[in-house]
């Protein structure tokens, strides 16, 4: 290894199997390369990273009637690096920063209505991503009241009959949420616990799943975030017991 030129060099003396090759005979030299754990992202255009290896082989043997002093062959390998998408589901009761005011009783009480806001946050590293779909279901005795997103032309869709809730985004720009604020959908839900839910935490949103396609590599992306319950909110002003139905 020549560390100054980043070249891995081999010769027949170190790989005897390649000291002589007959016509149509094959040979190989193997080596491994450790890739960085992180790629520097300092600006929005730091994306579409490629790992490149250029190879060259030389031999003093030349075909008859050729005036060259040696035979040279070239090879190239380019590997596209996949990006990374992070999905986070967060829930709050006191959430004035979102512009949505929630009301209702805490601790939760059966037969009484209480409102919460749920945030879907998406960070996208290194590559543009397309055909994004975020999907989940609202928990039992939970309904959608209002919603908004920070992605122009997109909305949160809700099926009142099934409780399905989704957000479709045609394209996510690389490094959104890394150097800028993340993609975000905020929706307000209202719970009305039943008698059967007394002594239990309520599920606001079931497991949230995200599917998409990496626009650079063409690879499918599939990930999920855990269900959001009233006893495990991101709102530090709400205690565990506040989220248990009384």
pLDDT, mean of residues 160-186: 95
**Using the 8-state DSSP alphabet, how is residue 79 labeled?**
E
Question: In the predicted model, is pLDDT for residue 33 greater than 90?
Answer: no
Question: In the predicted model, is pLDDT for residue 141 greater than 90?
Answer: yes
Contacts of 216 (CB under 8 A, 6+ apart): 47, 48, 80, 82, 83, 127, 128
Each residue's pLDDT tens digit, 145-158: 999 999 999 999 99
The pLDDT, as a whole number, for residue 77 is 94
The pLDDT, as a whole number, for residue 2 is 87
Nearest to 110 by CA among 200, 222, 216, 223: 200
The pLDDT, as a whole number, for residue 184 is 97
In Å, how far are 82, 175, 191, 219 from 126, measured between CA atoms?
8, 6, 39, 14
pLDDT, mean of residues 196-210: 97
Each residue's pLDDT tens digit, 58-82: 998 888 888 888 999 999 999 999 9
> 3-class DSSP state for residue 103?
coil
Q: What is the mean pLDDT of the chain?
A: 94
Beta bridge partners, 89, equal: 120
In Å, how far are 13, 98, 202 from 57, measured between CA atoms?
15, 62, 66
Q: Are strands 208-214 and 164-172 parallel, antiparallel or unpaired?
A: unpaired
Question: In the predicted model, is pLDDT for residue 211 greater than 90?
Answer: yes
Question: In the predicted model, is pLDDT for residue 209 greater than 90?
Answer: yes
């Amino acid at each position: 290894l020549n560390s100054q030129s980043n070249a891995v060099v081999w010769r027949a003396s170190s790989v005897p199997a390649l000291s002589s090759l007959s016509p149509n005979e094959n040979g190989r030299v193997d080596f491994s390369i450790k890739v960085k754990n992180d790629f520097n992202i300092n600006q929005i255009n730091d994306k579409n990273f490629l790992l490149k290896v250029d190879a060259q082989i030389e031999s003093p043997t030349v075909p008859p009637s050729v005036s060259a002093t040696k035979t040279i062959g070239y090879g190239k390998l380019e590997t596209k690096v996949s990006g990374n998408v992070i999905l986070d589901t967060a829930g709050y009761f006191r959430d004035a920063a979102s512009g949505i005011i929630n009301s209702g009783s805490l601790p939760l009480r059966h037969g009484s209505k209480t409102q919460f806001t749920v945030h879907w946050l998406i960070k996208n590293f290194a590559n543009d991503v397309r055909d994004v779909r975020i999907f989940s279901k609202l928990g039992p005795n939970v309904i959608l009241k209002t919603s908004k997103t920070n992605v122009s032309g997109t909305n949160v869709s809700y099926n009142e009959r099934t409780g399905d809730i989704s957000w479709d985004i045609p394209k996510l720009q690389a490094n959104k949420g890394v150097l800028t604020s993340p993609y975000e959908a905020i929706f307000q839900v209202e719970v009305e616990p039943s008698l059967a839910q007394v002594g239990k935490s309520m599920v606001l949103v079931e497991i949230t799943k995200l599917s998409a396609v990496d626009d650079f590599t063409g690879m499918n992306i599939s990930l999920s975030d855990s269900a959001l319950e009233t006893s495990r909110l991101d709102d530090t002003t709400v205690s565990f017991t506040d989220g248990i139905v009384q």
